[in-house]
């Protein structure tokens, strides 16, 4: 296809595709799907080889959020039967993080529900970061605490945080239909605050909330303009008890096309498959590794993922390798700029993209990713595949282990 050849050439040059080209990727047929994946794979291998970065979520404070994000199981008024608990102690969070690091995670993502942190919360998280880094040499720590006030990003940086996650989630045009208690501009402001403080900015999206192709392209172009280092792609987990519980409109093929579009628009950033990959990609997860170079290990914030060992087996069986702590994730031209405090723009005036979450996406306090842990003696049978639009609550397993429980985490 001329389209795919053009997109590969642009991706290798870090050149921004046209909106028409991005939309055309989402409109490709199932017969063309493997060609789309192969083309995106060429761009992925150019910048990241066959490495897969593992990230591990620790939900510091679960549920009871005052925000009304329609996708989130932790939202105000949620009837989802998730774990609810207040702040973990630093030593508890460090212990939870250690399980992920032992499983191969290079980055620990500390997430807390709520609109945004108080200065006391920031101090508390700072102590948690110190505890984790003291016990786990070389680990990266990303904080995800919601909307930031002036000066808080700097305090997190000084406490040892490497990155900050806050997702845009959807397009500016449709954001008001998803959330009323804060604005799209509030989210952009927080990503910019993190970036300006010298933190690696992580910001992404949630697909499957009833958005159009144009909405998906809009938010990914906005993420590129924000120039974040990583872009988590969450696939909506329709929790019973939330307003979007019946939004079952993703197929594995649709998810692969979305990932490919993100890779073409953001060729040299960490594209992470985040919340919902087990639910919507299902048996196609290994194929998605040809596009994305990063995943979450084990469980999410409020839902369970597949067993941590299954994640590791999948990576090895697909011919990929886990990225070690001694390896720099980003290509040299990005990591050098990031080391100077922020990502900056790229050759030819093209800049790249970022990441953020869902009560089971990756982002808390106004966006967060949920999951679960390993350690079960028996593996659950593989779920039957759902058709587009079919309601399948049996595909969603609420997290009952790991942080906030007495059970071993899944890593």
Instruction: Say if 401 falls within a structural domain.
Output: no
List CB contacts of 202: < 8 A, sequence separation 6 or more: 142, 144, 163, 164, 165, 166, 228, 229, 230, 231, 232, 354, 355, 356
343 is an annotated ligand-binding site residue = no
Instruction: Say if 271 falls within a structural domain.
Output: yes
Instruction: Say if 47 falls within a structural domain.
Output: yes
CA-to-CA distance for 139 and 294, rounded, in angstroms?
Answer: 15
Q: How far apart are the first and last CA of the chain?
A: 41
pLDDT digits (tens, 9 = 90+) for 198-248: 999 999 999 999 999 999 999 999 999 999 899 999 999 888 888 888 899
CA-to-CA distance for 292 and 271, rounded, in angstroms?
Answer: 5
**Dihedral, CA of residue 141, residue 144, residue 148 and residue 151, to nearest 10:** -10
373 is an annotated ligand-binding site residue = no
Domain count, the chain: 1
Give the distance from CA 347 to its chain's centroid.
Answer: 26
Q: What range defines the domain where residue 93 resides?
A: 2-326+352-374+386-395
Instruction: Say if 293 falls within a structural domain.
Output: yes
8-state DSSP, 244: T
Residue that is written with structure tokens 């993190």 in the block? 194
353 is an annotated ligand-binding site residue = no
List CB contacts of 384: < 8 A, sequence separation 6 or more: none
8-state DSSP, 291: T
Q: How confident is the model at residue 164 (pLDDT cuts 50, 70, 90)?
A: very high
Instruction: Say if 256 falls within a structural domain.
Output: yes
pTM exceeding the 0.75 threshold for the entire prediction: yes
8-state DSSP, 277: I
Which residues participate in catalysis according to the annotation?
Answer: 65, 69, 72, 109, 142, 202, 272
Farthest CA pair distance, the chain: 55
Would you state the pLDDT for residue 19?
98
Q: How confident is the model at residue 338 (pLDDT cuts 50, 70, 90)?
A: low
Q: What's the length of the chain?
A: 411
The DSSP-derived string for 4-48 is: HHHHHHHHHTTPPPPHHHHHHHHT--GGGHHHHHHHHHHHHHHHH
pLDDT digits (tens, 9 = 90+) for 33-46: 999 999 999 999 99
Min mean pLDDT across 151-160, 250-259, 306-315, 392-401 is at 392-401
Instruction: Say if 335 falls within a structural domain.
Output: no
As given in the structure block, the two tokens for residue 92 are 């508890």
Would you state the pLDDT for residue 376?
34
Q: How confident is the model at residue 361 (pLDDT cuts 50, 70, 90)?
A: low
124 is an annotated ligand-binding site residue = no
Average pLDDT over residues 348-375: 40
Would you state the pLDDT for residue 131?
96
266 is an annotated ligand-binding site residue = no
CA-to-CA distance for 383 and 104, rounded, in angstroms?
Answer: 26
**Residue 146 and residue 111 in contact, taking contact as beta carbons nearer than 8 Å:** no
Instruction: Say if 66 falls within a structural domain.
Output: yes
Q: Is 329 helix (H, G, I), strand (E, B) or coil?
A: coil
Q: Select from 234, 156, 149 the least CA-distant residue to 201.
A: 156
Q: Select from 148, 150, 139, 112 the least CA-distant residue to 357.
A: 112
Instruction: Say if 147 falls within a structural domain.
Output: yes
Q: Is the pLDDT assigned to residue 380 strictly greater than 50?
A: no
72 is an annotated ligand-binding site residue = yes
* CATH number of the domain where residue 218 is located: 3.20.20.70
Q: Select from 133, 135, 58, 44 the least CA-distant residue to 89.
A: 58
């Amino acid at each position: 296809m001329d389209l795919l050849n053009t997109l590969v050439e642009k991706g290798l040059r870090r050149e921004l595709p046209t909106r028409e080209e991005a939309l055309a990727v989402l409109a490709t047929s199932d017969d063309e799907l493997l060609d789309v994946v192969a083309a995106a794979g060429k761009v992925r291998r150019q910048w990241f080889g066959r490495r897969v970065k593992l990230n591990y979520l620790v939900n510091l404070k679960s549920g009871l959020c005052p925000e009304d994000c329609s996708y989130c199981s932790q939202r105000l008024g949620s009837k989802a039967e998730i774990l609810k608990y207040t702040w973990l102690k630093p030593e508890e969070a460090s212990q939870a993080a250690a399980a992920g690091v032992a499983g191969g995670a290079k980055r620990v993502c500390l997430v807390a529900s709520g609109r945004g942190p108080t200065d006391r919360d920031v101090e508390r998280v700072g102590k948690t970061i110190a505890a984790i880094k003291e016990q786990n040499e070389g680990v990266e720590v990303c904080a995800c605490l919601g909307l930031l006030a002036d000066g808080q990003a700097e305090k997190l940086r000084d406490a040892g945080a490497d990155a900050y996650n806050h997702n845009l989630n959807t397009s500016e045009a449709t954001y008001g239909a998803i959330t009323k208690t804060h604005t799209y501009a509030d989210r952009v402001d927080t990503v910019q605050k993190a970036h300006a403080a010298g933190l690696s900015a992580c910001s992404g999206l949630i697909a499957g909330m009833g958005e159009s192709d144009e909405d998906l392209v809009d938010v990914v172009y906005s993420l590129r303009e924000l120039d974040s280092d990583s872009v988590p792609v969450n696939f909506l987990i329709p929790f019973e008890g939330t307003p979007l519980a019946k939004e079952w409109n993703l197929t594995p093929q649709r998810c692969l096309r979305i990932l490919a579009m993100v890779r073409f628009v953001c060729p040299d950033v960490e594209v992470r498959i985040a919340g919902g990959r087990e639910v919507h990609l299902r048996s196609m997860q290994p194929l998605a590794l040809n596009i994305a170079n990063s995943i979450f290990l084990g469980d999410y914030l409020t839902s369970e993922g597949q067993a941590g060992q299954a994640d590791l087996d999948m990576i090895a069986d697909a011919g990929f390798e886990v990225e070690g702590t001694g390896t720099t994730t980003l290509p040299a031209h990005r990591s050098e700029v990031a080391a100077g405090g922020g990502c900056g723009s790229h050759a030819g005036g093209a800049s790249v993209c970022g990441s953020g979450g869902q009560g089971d996406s990756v982002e808390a306090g106004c966006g967060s990713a949920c999951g679960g842990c390993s350690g079960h003696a028996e593996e659950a049978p593989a779920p039957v595949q759902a058709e587009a639009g079919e309601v399948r609550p049996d595909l969603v397993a609420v997290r009952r282990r790991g942080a906030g429980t007495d059970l071993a985490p899944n890593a």
